[in-house]
């Protein structure tokens, strides 16, 4: 979910402080264990803040090291391990589909596999950035890597 600005003072117990916006803008991306239970990547890109589970839903790649690219007009983080594309705003996995493999030249289109990576809400209050965890009970594939077994990193990048 992209960032939104709120008027101070409007933080709440569900909003977890990540850092000063100026510091996040300078760093471009930070990782943090939020509420002691979830490793989250917070990104600043083209004037927007985004927050998503840090570990890739596919097989646990480090999204904090991924490039940001646009596919079919949608900003994605590209996992450095197997190049899966994940939209920053929704957490959808994108893939390139072929209309008809018997027709050349091949015609391809970007399609969505649905939401695969859990996206969290980012809020800015007076220059401070907070994340509110998306606690939807609907299972999302990236949840698998938010266990002690799979957590490996919780340091700022």
The DSSP-derived string for 34-45 is ETTTEEEEEEEE
Q: Does 116 bind ligand FES (CB under 6 A)?
A: no
Residue placing its CB nearer to ligand FES in the complex, 10 or 59: 59
With contacts defined by CB under 6 A, name the span among 6-14, 26-34, 59-67, 128-136 that binds ligand FES. Answer: 59-67
Residue placing its CB nearer to ligand FES in the complex, 19 or 60: 60
Give least dist CB 82 to ligand FES, A: 3
Residue 63: strand, helix, or coil: helix
Of 58, 116, 118, 120, the one binding ligand FES (CB under 6 A) is: 58
Residue placing its CB nearer to ligand FES in the complex, 81 or 154: 81
C-alpha to C-alpha distances, 52 to 114, 118, 138, nearest whole angstrom: 15, 6, 16
Of residues 61-100, those binding ligand FES (CB under 6 A): 61, 79, 81-82, 84
φ, ψ of residue 146 in degrees (nearest 5): -100, 50
Q: For 61, how many CA atoms within 13 A lie in the half-sphere containing its CB?
A: 18
- Two tokens, residue 96: 């390139």
Give least dist CB 91 to ligand FES, A: 13
φ, ψ of residue 144 in degrees (nearest 5): -55, -30
C-alpha to C-alpha distances, 130 to 51, 61, 102, nearest whole angstrom: 10, 24, 50
Q: Does 150 bind ligand FES (CB under 6 A)?
A: no
Residues of this chain that interact with ligand FES (CB under 6 A) are: 56, 58-61, 79, 81-82, 84
């Amino acid at each position: 979910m992209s960032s939104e600005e709120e008027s101070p003072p409007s933080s709440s117990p569900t909003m977890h402080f990540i850092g000063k916006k100026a510091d996040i803008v300078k760093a471009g991306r930070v990782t943090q264990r939020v509420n002691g239970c979830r490793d989250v990547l917070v990104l600043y890109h083209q004037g927007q803040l985004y927050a998503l589970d840090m570990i890739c839903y596919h097989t646990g790649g480090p999204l904090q090291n991924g490039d940001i690219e646009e596919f079919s007009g949608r900003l994605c983080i590209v996992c450095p391990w197997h190049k899966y594309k994940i939209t920053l705003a929704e957490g959808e996995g994108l893939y390139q589909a072929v209309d008809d493999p018997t027709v050349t030249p091949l015609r391809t289109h970007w399609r969505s596999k649905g939401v695969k990576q859990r996206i969290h809400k980012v809020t800015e209050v007076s220059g401070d950035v907070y994340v509110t965890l998306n606690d939807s009970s609907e299972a999302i594939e990236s949840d698998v890597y938010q266990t002690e077994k799979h957590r490996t990193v919780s340091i700022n990048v």
